[in-house]
A = this chain, B = another copy of it.
Amino acid sequence: MTFYADCQARVAVELISGRWPMVVLYALSHGPARPVDLRRQIGGISQKVLTETLRRLETNGLVERHRYAEAPPRVEYSLTPAGHDLLIPINALGDWAARHANAVLAAQDAAGA
């Protein structure tokens, strides 16, 4: 069996690569949230970075933006079905990390990586 370099799983990895996409998707796993709620839940993310991350996730079809015509207008974000399904590998990565991340970090330190 031959494995081709352009296997689709890499599309998924690129979507969750980087510091914030996975954390924002995970924060939305508890239901729709306003940006201000997300900032409160996610330690260390700036408004600018949160806005960019949400826009990228929206462009990729992983989150949806809902605008409510209230005074002042209210905006909420929620996971699309594709975004919700991405929580499965994200949780699997979390489980793997809980078991192995420390050993990997130690191996990297030992190798001076």
Contact = CB atoms under 8 A, between A and B. Distances in A.
For A41, A100, A105, A107, the residue with the greatest tally of chain B CB atoms inside 10 Å of its CB is: A100
Q: How big is chain A's contact interface, by range?
A: 35 or more
A69 interface: no
* Interface SS of chain A: helix
**Number of copies of this protein chain within its complex:** 2
Given A60-B107, A61-B100, 8 more contacts: A1-B30, A7-B26, A8-B98, A13-B13, A13-B17, A13-B93, A17-B17, A86-B100
A43 interface: yes
A16 to B, nearest CB: 6
A52 to B, nearest CB: 13
Interface string A1-41: 11111011111111111011011001100100000000011
